[in-house]
Amino acid sequence: MSANSNVDTEQINKGIAILKRGGLVAFPTDTVYGLGACYDDCKAVERVFRVKKRPKNKALPLILAEVDQMAEIVEYVPPVAWLLASRFMPGALTLVMQKSDAVPDIVTGDSKKVAVRVSAHPVPVALIKGAGVPIVGTSVNISGQPSAVTGDEVRSQFGGEIELVISGRCSGGRESTIIDVTGEIPRILREGAISRQEIMKVCRII
């Protein structure tokens, strides 16, 4: 399944049901495979850390279905964030902003910042809309290992620890570019699928 093809309704409905009851779902995105849990289910989020063997002080990013959802998740959306979002979202851009009280501290590793992105792949968008809330969208890999880009890679790393692995194709294969927009000048934390040069065409960065 490519990013532009129709989603598998049966798998999506199963995934939505699993997310709503506190389970974990792995799914293809426009970058790499994501490991999802409802962001407001602290027990499910804790499982994401445990399954990935990820330190709990290392924040988890959130995936949104629509750009406008940023305003529900963060305390304030700076003008430069809207500017970058208008150019690169949906897509392989993750923005770091001050979180709102709606985001549990476990998601952000007790940080006051949260990383958000809007995927250009129909599968996570359908899952989020069905679940009714943003989902954790961290890459599917044991912490420190390469990110999975196929369902088979997910299964080989995690076996039965994830309730559902939705089959599909990651159209990008490279992780998103992360930009912190909490300061006066946006700062690139990780250069990924979107290059520094592309970002600089839109705004000044450091």
Q: pLDDT (tens digit, 9 = 90+) per residue, 106-152?
A: 999 999 999 999 999 999 999 999 999 999 999 999 988 889 999 99
CATH number, domain at 168?
A: 3.90.870.10
Torsion angle defined by CA atoms of residues 71, 74, 79 and 82, in that order, rounded to the nearest 10 degrees: -60
138-139, strands of its sheet edge to edge:
138-139, 34-36, 25-27, 164-165
Residue 1 resides in a domain: no
pLDDT in the model for residue 6: 54
Tell me the pLDDT tens digit for each residue of 52-111.
Answer: 999 999 999 999 999 999 999 999 999 999 999 999 999 999 999 999 999 999 999 999
Residue 125 resides in a domain: yes
The tokens for 120 are: 């250009």
Residue 3 resides in a domain: no
**What is the pLDDT averaged over residues 172-185?**
93
Give the separation between CA 108 and CA 115, rounded to whole angstroms: 8
Residue 62 resides in a domain: yes
Nearest CA-CA partner of 5 in 175, 171, 173: 171
Residue 148 resides in a domain: yes
Residue 28 resides in a domain: yes
Residue 205 resides in a domain: no
Whether the CB-CB separation of 178 and 190 falls below 8 Å is answered with: yes
Whether the CB-CB separation of 104 and 114 falls below 8 Å is answered with: no
113-118, strands of its sheet edge to edge:
135-136, 62-64, 113-118, 93-98, 177-180, 187-190
pLDDT in the model for residue 171: 80
HEC string of 172-195 equals CCCCCEEEECCCCCCEEEECCCCC
In the structure, how many helices (H) and strands (E) does the chain have?
Answer: 7, 10
Residue 4 resides in a domain: no
- In the chain, the number of structural domains is 1
State the residue range of the domain holding 154: 9-200
